[in-house]
């Protein structure tokens, strides 16, 4: 597990009306999952086709919180923080509506994701608003860390 990354299993509450999944709770959370009790931006991302890859980038200051709201996805992370006890380590996380999770990614960790089903949808919250003139991101190609996207038979 990469230091500072959190994978929080979420609870689905279901009754005869349907279901509810609480994604994040900041006001009274004793463990604030990152750094702030505020956020800069919330956005929705949809991948219409299975196998779509959105990778890799990292931030210098921004924290990301990801939640797959429909379909399923494979997240791949690599710690690029100098001095981190987990520097260079990689991890893979699978998240879906059937296995709801909040994935918390601190600054300095490269991250990307691939949709595992058609019409996979993600809700993403960022600690800072995106600045188009001076984006807080470093991007590298999706194959920068080897063959991490292939789904292998088991």
Q: What average pLDDT does range 111-118 have in this prediction?
A: 98
Chain centroid to Cα 129, Å, comes to: 16
* Bridge partners, 111 (sequence order): 57, 77
Average pLDDT of the segment spanning 4-14: 92
Confidence band of 106 (pLDDT split at 50, 70, 90):
very high
What band does 145 get if pLDDT is binned at 50, 70 and 90? very high
User: Which residue do the tokens 């399923």 mark?
Assistant: 72
Residue 104 CA to residue 9 CA, distance in Å, equals: 11
Please report which confidence band the pLDDT of residue 26 belongs to, taking 50, 70 and 90 as the band edges. low
- Structure token digits, residue 32: 């604030």
- Which residue ranges make up each domain of the chain? 6-12+35-134
Q: ω before 126 within 30° of 0 (cis)?
A: no
pTM for the whole thing?
A: 0.89
Distance CA(37)–CA(54), nearest Å, equals 27
Mean per-residue pLDDT for 52-81?
96
- Cα dihedral 4/26/72/18 (nearest 10): 150
What is the band of 92 on the pLDDT scale with cuts at 50, 70, 90? very high
Is the CATH number 1.10.1050.10 carried by domain 6-12+35-134?
Answer: no
């Amino acid at each position: 597990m990469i230091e500072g990354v959190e994978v929080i299993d979420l609870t689905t509450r279901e009754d005869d009306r349907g279901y509810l999944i609480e994604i994040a709770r900041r006001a009274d959370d004793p463990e604030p999952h990152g750094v702030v009790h505020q956020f800069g931006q919330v956005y929705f991302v949809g991948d219409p086709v299975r196998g779509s890859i959105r990778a890799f980038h990292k931030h210098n200051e921004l924290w990301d919180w990801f939640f797959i709201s429909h379909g399923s996805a494979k997240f791949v992370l690599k710690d690029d923080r100098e001095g981190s006890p987990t520097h260079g380590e990689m991890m893979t996380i699978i998240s879906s509506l059937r296995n709801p999770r909040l994935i918390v990614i601190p600054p300095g960790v490269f991250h990307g994701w691939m949709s595992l089903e058609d019409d996979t949808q993600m809700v993403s919250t960022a600690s800072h608003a995106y600045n188009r003139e001076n984006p807080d991101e470093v991007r590298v190609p999706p194959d920068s860390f080897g063959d991490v996207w292939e789904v292998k038979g088991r």
